[in-house]
A = this chain, B = another copy of it.
C-alpha cells in the first residue's frame, strides 16, 4: 500500500521531503516556508548573480493539474519560501494547519542528472479522527492517503511578464529563467538527510508534529 506502484515506475520516484503545515503556511501570509535543509538540498537557488532572486517551480498534483509557485529566498528571515500560487493551492486543496504536503521527484532516466526531473506535489490531511472541524469532506480536494504525484518543474520567469515594472535586467522582484538541478548539482554529490533514513511513515506522520494536536 505504499507508493511503489504508482504508474509502475517505482524505481525512479523519489520522495524529497514533506512538511507539516503550520497555521502560517495556510494563513494569510500566502507563503509556505520550506525548511532550509530541504530547500538547499532539493531546490538550490545557486550562487550565481541574481539566482537568489527566485524562480518559478511547476509541480503536478495527483490529478495531473499543474501548479506553479514562485520560489525564493527571503534574506530578512533567512528562509526559503513558496509564495505566488501557494494560496491558490491551499484553497483548492482545502489545506489546514496540521495537514502536510509531500514533494517528490520523478527522474525519467535514472542515470541522468536532475535536469529532466518532473516534480510532484501531494497533500495529505491529518487524521480524520483529529479533524473535528470539517463539515464538508475534503476528499475530492485532497485524497486521503494519496501520495499526490505532481508534475514537472521548470523555471520560467516573470510568471508571464510584468512589463511595466521591474522587467529586464534587474533581479529585483523578478523570477529568472534558469534551470534547476544542473550538472553541478549532481545527486551523487549529496548525502541523504536523516529524515530519509528513517522517515516517519507517510501514512502516520502527524503524531510528532506540534500542530497535529492543535485546532
Binds B, one of A58-66, A168-176, A191-199: A168-176
- Does the CB pair B165–A167 fall under 8 Å? no
Q: What is the 8 Å Cβ interface bit string for chain A, positions 73-100, against chain B (1 contact, 0 not)?
A: 1111000000000000000000000000
Q: How many residues of A contact B (CB 8 A)?
A: 18
A29 interface hit (Cβ, 8 Å)? no
Name the residue of chain B whose CB is nearest to the CB of A168: B170
Indicate if the CB atoms of A75 and B162 lie closer than 8 Å. Answer: yes
Tell yes or no: A31 within 8 A of B by CB: no
Is there contact, CB below 8 Å, between B167 and A170?
yes
Residues of chain B contacted by A73 (CB below 8 angstroms): 164
* Interface flag for A166 (CB, 8 Å): yes
Say how far A56's CB is from chain B's closest CB, in angstroms. Answer: 15
Q: Is A163 an interface residue (CB 8 A)?
A: yes
